[in-house]
Amino acid sequence: MLIGVIGDAHLGCTDYSRKRRADFSSAFCNAIKTCREHGAEAICLLGDVFDSAATRRNVDAFAELLRDVSEPLTNLKRNTVPLIAIPGNHEYGRGREGGELAVMEHLGFAQILRGTDIDLGPVRISGIPWQSSPAQIPELIRQLRREPAARQRQVLLLHNFVAGGQFMPTDLCEIDPKELDGFNQIFVGHHHVYEVIAHCTIPGSTETQNMIDKSEKCIVLYDSDSDTVSRHFLPKTHEVLIFRYDISNLSPQDVVNALNCDLDSKADSAQPFVYVEIRGTISVSQVVSKAELTAVLRERDLFDYCIDVRYSTRSQSARESQRGASIDQILHRAFPGRELGKAKQYLGYDEPEKLFADIRERILSDN
């Protein structure tokens, strides 16, 4: 039996514009299409199918997403191809556990595993949804382990960080692969980059969410007859171009000129998504104009763009900092509503000037 496995799709991703979010829907549709083209008789989704920040704001946003991905879902249902999913961390929150996936289940598009399993004949698939307390995972594993039927393979779907990989900081890892024994294959979501850790296969996300992620996106296909896993690449929705500039070494006009030059060097890219990152420290008299950068980008044939500007000002003294903005202006900018009163109460106006300068620099560097 051939089973397609798809990682985090993050449908409706709110990190970028609505136009860019369409890429996440396209990538998900491409993932299902790729699975089917390679003969998948069932498809598994490893959680974070939806980026819940968008779908929980209103019903219309969720309906729009379902419309965008309705064709491949309808085709799977029409051809009785099982679609099996586990909830990821993005399907939780606001008192709704896996709410979007539950709607798909009620509509007959998917079967959701919540610490349960499903028997597909040659393969028994077990699924553990995202666990906010990863220490519970070994016990859940013990509950799902059982003697398989003759020649039946056992597969586990998981959505937590697994230790031992090269892309995940050690302090974020939540489960040791050694605690996941007892299954022929284990497929893990939550990680966004393809990797194999011990006997765990991580397909990664279907679309680039974090712009520093330059990995090739893919699905994996599990052949239960041979107990092997193969990797199959997804077409790019749009090429992502990343331009980084250190404002410490460039004037604001130099940045504008550099962006023009870099865009010219990539003129052969067909409607790319451009991510511009600006970091560093500048003098008080300098200003990085987002409007100028936007004007440069709008002149190009781009699909979409994101400008990420975070820099701090170089001050010789606290008094020099104070000339740039009053403490009231800074507090109003940084603290909304009732938090403003608390900020003033805790900060006070009789603190040393150095404290004021430090606070101002921290606020500026975060905006």
Q: What is the pLDDT of residue 353?
A: 47
List CB contacts of 220: < 8 A, sequence separation 6 or more.
4, 5, 187, 201, 203, 229, 230, 231, 232
Q: What is the pLDDT of residue 56?
A: 63
Q: Give Rg (Cα) of the chain.
A: 25
CB 45 within 8 A of CB 9: yes
Specify the length of the chain in residues.
Answer: 367
Per-residue pLDDT 10s for the chain (367 aa) are 999 999 999 998 877 777 888 999 999 999 999 999 999 999 999 999 998 766 666 778 888 889 999 999 999 999 999 999 999 998 875 445 657 898 899 999 999 999 999 999 999 999 999 998 999 999 999 999 888 778 899 999 999 999 999 888 888 889 999 999 999 999 999 999 999 999 999 999 999 988 778 899 999 999 999 999 999 999 999 999 999 999 998 999 999 999 999 999 999 999 999 999 999 888 777 888 889 999 999 999 999 999 988 877 765 555 545 555 555 666 666 676 667 666 665 555 444 444 555 554 554 444 4
- Closest by alpha carbon to 44, among 135, 123, 143? 123
According to DSSP, the residues that pair with 111 across neighbouring strands are 84
CA–CA gap between residue 31 and residue 224 (Å, rounded): 20
According to DSSP, the residues that pair with 204 across neighbouring strands are none
Kindly list the domain boundaries of the chain, sorted by start residue. Answer: 2-233, 238-314, 315-367
CA–CA gap between residue 87 and residue 100 (Å, rounded): 9
The answer regarding whether domain 2-233 maps to CATH 3.60.21.10 reads: yes
- Closest by alpha carbon to 47, among 161, 163, 214? 161
Q: What is the pLDDT of residue 358?
A: 53
Can you spell out the DSSP letters for 43-66? EEE-S--B-HHHHTT-HHHHHHHH
Query: Half-sphere exposure of 257 toward its Cβ, with a 13 Å CA cutoff?
Result: 6
Backbone angles phi, psi at 295, to 5 degrees: -60, -40
Q: What is the pLDDT of residue 364?
A: 47
According to DSSP, the residues that pair with 187 across neighbouring strands are 157, 201
CA–CA gap between residue 158 and residue 244 (Å, rounded): 35
- Closest by alpha carbon to 21, among 58, 59, 62? 62
* Global confidence as pTM: 0.81
